[in-house]
Structure 1
Amino acid sequence: MDTKHKLIAAAERVFDRHGFTATGMDRLTAEAGMSSRTLYKHAGSKTALMQAVLAERERRFMARLDVSGVDAIFVALAEWVHTEGARGCLFLRTLGETGADLPVLADAVMAHKAAFRERVAEIVAAEVGEETAAGLSEQILVLIEGATAAAVYRGPDAVAAARAAAATLIDGARR
């Protein structure tokens, strides 16, 4: 793994565990096992590093949504919670911490959420048809987001409950 990828992976672990604002550069250098000079050379700034972390997180998360079917979304989410942990959505936590104070991060969050929403709508439309998908995809999206948040304190049971609710919605849409 090259230095930049090692830095992004270390920063993602620290930001995910402690948050963006609570993480200092000293903690990042210690976690990455590199000097502050090397960190700044490869990251530029803490904000640029967080932007790179969000881009990597999006790449991995969206790759998991290369599925066909709503049920498969929840299977992928359960796998994500199992392998990545259940600390809520890093994108929403970043937005909550920084608000509009760091537009580059707010823009990254909003772009991710728009792409995520579009992908969910595509999956729902493929399953139930375009006419039914509009409102239903919003409901499925809320179930996914809610399961992600509730998994923090309920664990995988939150994803299972959302999966069951989604199945009920899809069955109803097919009738």
Structure 2
Amino acid sequence: MDIDTQLLTTAERLFDQDGFNATGMGRLVRETRLSSRTVYKHVGSKNALVARVLAERQRRFFAHTDFSSVEALFDSLKRWHADNDGARGCLFFRLRAETGGQIAEIEAAVAAYQQQLHVRIGELVAREAGVPDETRADQILALFEGATTAATYRGEAVIDAAAACARQLINQRGAV
């Protein structure tokens, strides 16, 4: 494993398990067994590192997630959750909440993730409902994000429940 991959993998695990504030650069140095000089040379700063971690997480999430249908979307979420990447809820929202929107790098990463998710769900709705529908897309987005969080304490059954609601929304005729 190259140094960048080692740093990003370790940092993501630490940010995901313990949060932004509890994950200091000293801890990253200890966990990776690299020198602090090497770590800072490769990541620059903690804020730059978290931005890179979130960008990589976003890339993996969208490569993993199937937006071909409502069923495929929620099945993807179940697989993501089962693989433990999603078992603690959405890392983007947790880091934003923890930092109170005060770190520009996290804000930018969350905005990029949210925008991409919104666009992809909007495209799914237009394709499946046969017409673009911003309200319906927002409803399915809310179901998806809610299921992401609720699955952490209710289990995967809540993802199935959200998928059933999303299917009902898609099947409705006319504007909702």
Look up the match of 1:28. Answer: 28
| Runs (5+) with no aligned partner, structure 2 | none
1:129-161 alpha-carbon deviations (Å, 9 max, x no partner): 224x32111110000000011111112122111
* Residue aligned with 2:172, SS: helix
| 2:125–2:137 contact (8 Å) kept in structure 1 | yes
Aligned equivalents of 1:65, 1:124: Cα separation in 2: 15
Look up the match of 2:153. Answer: 153
Aligned equivalents of 2:65, 2:127: Cα separation in 1: 14
TM-score normalised by structure 2 residue count:
0.92
| 2:50–2:105 contact (8 Å) kept in structure 1 | no
Look up the match of 2:91. Answer: 90
Aligned equivalents of 1:135, 1:114: Cα separation in 2: 15
Aligned equivalents of 1:93, 1:67: Cα separation in 2: 24
| Runs (5+) with no aligned partner, structure 1 | none
Residues 1:14 and 2:19 aligned together? no
* Residue aligned with 1:130, SS: coil
Look up the match of 2:109. Answer: 108
Aligned equivalents of 2:61, 2:122: Cα separation in 1: 16
Alpha-carbon deviation of 1:108? 1.4
Aligned length: 174
| 2:66–2:72 contact (8 Å) kept in structure 1 | no
TM-score normalised by structure 1 residue count:
0.92
Aligned equivalents of 1:37, 1:18: Cα separation in 2: 24
Percent of residue pairs bearing the same amino acid type: 49
1:1-39 alpha-carbon deviations (Å, 9 max, x no partner): 211111001100110000011111222123223222211
Where has structure 1 moved over 3 Å in runs of 4 or more? none
Aligned equivalents of 1:16, 1:110: Cα separation in 2: 18
